[in-house]
Chains A and B, each alone.
Chain A
Amino acid sequence: MAASPLRPRILFVAKFGAVLLVLYAVIALNQVNDAVIVPFTEVVARASAGLLRAAEGGVDAQGTIMHSARFALDVRNGCNGVEATLLLAAAILAFPATLRSRLIGLVICSIAIELLNIVRLSSLFWLGEHYRQVFDLFHVAVWQSLIILAAISMFVLWSWKFAERPVAKSR
């Protein structure tokens, strides 16, 4: 008796939801937040300030705050790319693929999203310094769209290449 074609799809949605819940529950723990998320966010702030400093002096980071003489940006929880990365990670973990493929996808996609987020923060800071009037536009519309586009593109490319395809029936 052939398996229902709906089964892998339902299984994916269920796994995706479950993994997402677990991952979000983990980062909601105060201990994880204090020991991992906040230090990571400080690294993101420093990296973003460093990237911008390479193009334009006068930008520094103290803790999670990027600042110059003209503008400041607080890289709070939610600004560090972690939530977007977890969404992508949940989709990769739930998708039918080998464990090795999932690990490859997790590592590459997570790094890519975080690097993109550093570029995002640097560019937003620069806009905040020089073109404050378009800061919100880029923050809310442009960069959100780019991050979503990047995440979806990476997931489609990864799943297309690494999906566990059904074995062809022998004649």
Chain B
Amino acid sequence: MADKQLDTTTAASAFQKQWFADLRRRVFDERQPYALLQADVPFELFDLLEIPAVSNQWWASIIAAKRQAPQFLGAMDADGLHCGLCRYCSLGFASTRYAYAGEPPWGGLPTPRLLCARLTCDCIHRVFELWAEAFGAELFEIDHPGAGELPERWWELGRRQWRELVEPHRLAFLVSTLESLVERLEAISGRAFDRNALRDRLELVNQQEEVFDDVRQLIATAPECPVRMTEQITNVMATQWVRGSDWAIAHARAFRDEVQQRVDAGVAACPGERARLMWVGAGLWHDTGFYTAFESSHRAVFVWSMYLAFGPDGYIRYGLDDPMAALASRTASFNEYLHNPPWAAEWLVHQARAHRIDGALVLRPRSMKPAATGRLFIERALEDAGIPVLPIEADVVDGREWDADAARADVRSFLETRVLQ
């Protein structure tokens, strides 16, 4: 993996490791409850009731990045869980259920008090139920009503007209479900939920995402990309899991300032940049070196992933008179924004144009079937917009069948025949 170029990236990595160590201490030594959550659950509710929360997808990415995934995935295979079942959302479960198979990072997950998941994909109910059973912990499910209306340019509506973005019955359902979740969290924490504190927190989240909007703008408009995509992800995700906290806002600002300094000084992630690439899909966590592998050979740099761009467009909610409704509106359609027609393709084309993208690499996920939907619409829309597309077939956490050399050869060929002519 390439060396880190930004000081804030090193700080973000260190924060995450320390945060997890503190979590383990609080759980083991102080017997405090914590929660395991799908990434799209509103973390703010847990934080406001002082229940620290670990993201399932973040934990899976850490296991994969530490090269521990093959052992746990092998144990899943041996137990008869066929290879078509989603590995990304279940790797964390595997590290619990088949703990004997490997060495989970940083000492592993302690037993949570509660698991919570939105039932976006069909398999989530199964994975979280099995995981809760393996821990002997409680599970809270947030069901996912389908969107019947999908207005165009969701990323513009979402900021100020978010009530128009989500049909009233879906919004009301989600508000009611989140209220039930709050009741449960109050019972667990022994604390009372403060609605004003939620409004304040969402305002802070807005501030954080506005800072990321600035960073995105810097990346989109600088002559050359000032920060590698992998470092964007590290900095953004470290803050997103504790979004709106003092540390998160301070770190987001430090990140922006460092990027601004690099732009002002004309420092590029890949000096002499010739091709700006977009990564569409979840990160290739078992081979993050892939994203810097074409810099020296082709001066091709990954400029864009959803991780930074989705923050400002997906999270900012102005008009917080009813903060729970605002939070629900943000949560209601994450999956549709990122994967499904017309929303995903429309947004990605818009982002590609804003970032002067020369070529897009679109993940064709091997085992994440729901995330695989909408892909053909996305590929077609990008090509129709004049952006060459290279589909990359891979599993984001399971590197056992990943041929790194062949994939890199495919990208080199793509760059030479379609991007850099």
Partners in one complex: no
Interface residues of A (CB under 8 A from B): none
B residues engaging A (CB < 8 A)?
none
